[in-house]
């Protein structure tokens, strides 16, 4: 089985988490695992990321391709999602707000009927959350460009640097009966109870992962569609549920989200940002 592991986003606790990832993930697959890395040149803390920060993956895994992206350039050039309305705030100022400011100023479930917006979201709140989620999925999209022949892999796994393995990754020991499910679902992690899916790790066969990696390209279009159908909700307008809608309901090819029992938070992994 040939597998690709695509690690994306801010490096966060990645170097420390590597010492858990090596025995519990990378070393399990050996030469059958190709690694791709797509990260930013600056941490959220301001720490600059350089080539040397990738040494653990270069020295101890089969790192095929990588890119350290210019965060400042991205922030200057990115195309923001905008709605057409009588604007009181510049879109740039809205995007700089904290989510707490947005909740307090622009959204309230009790005002849904009064405002005529989704779950009490004003246009400003919709713009804020869409652009926030676009920032999250941009790096996922760019990581896919690093894989020149994605169809050569049996399985493609996307994960974040802050994913800390507590137990061995079990796909190598997956029962034959479960393998048929891989043709129909995007496999994801969940909370401890197994009733809420997360976006920290996903895997599937190439055609399913192709759709997943291209989510960013469709966000503007399907959010417009969501707004039209009044599908936004106060509790579920986030990256995880946007992923679920996109995979299960958007476009011609539709795939279910499957929460893998061996990918549960605090049992099989924790998110440790460092």
pLDDT tens by residue, the chain, 274 residues: 899 999 999 998 888 999 999 999 999 999 999 999 999 999 877 789 999 999 999 999 999 999 999 999 999 999 999 999 999 999 999 999 988 888 788 876 565 555 444 556 788 888 998 999 999 999 999 999 999 999 999 999 999 999 999 999 987 445 555 556 678 899 999 999 988 999 999 999 999 999 999 999 999 998 888 776 666 665 667 888 889 999 999 999 999 999 988 899 999 999 987 6
Compute the distance between CA of residue 273 and CA of residue 3 in angstroms, rounded to an integer. 25
- Give pLDDT, residue 12: 84
- Does residue 225 lie in a domain region? no
- Give pLDDT, residue 116: 47
Rounded alpha-carbon distances, angstroms, from residue 199 to 2, 78, 133, 144: 23, 22, 12, 16
- Does residue 68 lie in a domain region? yes
Note whether 260 and 189 are within 8 A (CB): yes
The DSSP code sequence of 123-165 is HHHHHHHHHHHHHHHHHHHHHHTT-S-GGG-SEEEEEETTEEE
Note whether 171 and 5 are within 8 A (CB): no
Task: Please tell me whether residue 49 adopts helix, strand or coil conformation.
Answer: coil
Q: What CATH number is associated with residue 184?
A: 3.90.550.10
Beta strands 3-8 and 155-160, pairing class: parallel
Helix H segments across the chain? 14-21, 27-29, 55-60, 71-77, 91-96, 99-106, 112-115, 123-144, 176-179, 206-213, 215-229, 239-249
For residue 262, count CB atoms less than 10 angstroms from its CB and return exposed for 0-12, middle for 13-18, buried for 19 or more: middle
- Give pLDDT, residue 239: 86
Q: Which residues, 6 or more positions from 205, have their beta carbon under 8 angstroms from its beta carbon? A: 154, 155, 156, 182, 183
- Residue 115: both structure tokens together: 């405002």
Task: Please tell me whether residue 88 adopts helix, strand or coil conformation.
Answer: coil
Determine the structural domain holding residue 34 and report its residue range.
3-77+133-214+259-271
- Does residue 96 lie in a domain region? no
- Does residue 152 lie in a domain region? yes
- Residue 257: both structure tokens together: 């989200």
- Give pLDDT, residue 173: 46
Q: Into how many domains does the chain fold? A: 1
Helix H segments across 34-186? 55-60, 71-77, 91-96, 99-106, 112-115, 123-144, 176-179
- Give pLDDT, residue 170: 81
- Does residue 44 lie in a domain region? yes
């Amino acid at each position: 089985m040939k597998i690709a592991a695509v690690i994306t986003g801010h490096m966060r606790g990645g170097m420390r988490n590597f010492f858990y990832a090596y025995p519990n993930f990378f070393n399990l697959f050996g030469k059958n695992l190709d690694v791709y890395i797509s990260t930013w040149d600056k941490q959220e803390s301001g720490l600059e990321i350089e080539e040397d920060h990738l040494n653990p993956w270069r020295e101890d895994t089969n790192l095929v391709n990588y890119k350290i992206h210019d965060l400042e350039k991205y922030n200057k050039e990115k195309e923001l999602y905008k709605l057409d309305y009588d604007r009181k705030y510049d879109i740039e100022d809205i995007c700089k707000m904290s989510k707490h400011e947005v909740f307090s100023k622009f959204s309230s479930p009790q005002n849904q009927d009064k405002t005529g917006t989704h779950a009490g979201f004003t246009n400003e709140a919709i713009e804020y959350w869409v652009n926030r989620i676009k920032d999250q999925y941009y790096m996922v999209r760019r990581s896919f460009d690093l894989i020149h022949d994605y169809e050569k892999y049996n399985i493609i796994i996307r994960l974040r640097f802050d994913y800390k393995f507590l137990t061995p990754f079990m796909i190598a020991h997956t029962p034959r009966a479960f393998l048929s499910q891989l043709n129909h679902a995007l496999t994801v992690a969940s909370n401890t109870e197994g009733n809420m899916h997360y976006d920290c790790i996903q895997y599937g066969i190439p055609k399913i992962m192709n759709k997943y990696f291209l989510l960013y390209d469709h966000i503007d279009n399907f959010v417009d569609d969501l707004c039209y159908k009044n599908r936004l909700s106060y509790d579920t307008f986030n990256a995880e549920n946007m992923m679920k809608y996109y995979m299960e309901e958007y476009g011609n090819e539709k795939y279910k989200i499957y929460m893998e029992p061996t990918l549960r938070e605090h049992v099989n992994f924790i998110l440790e940002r460092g």
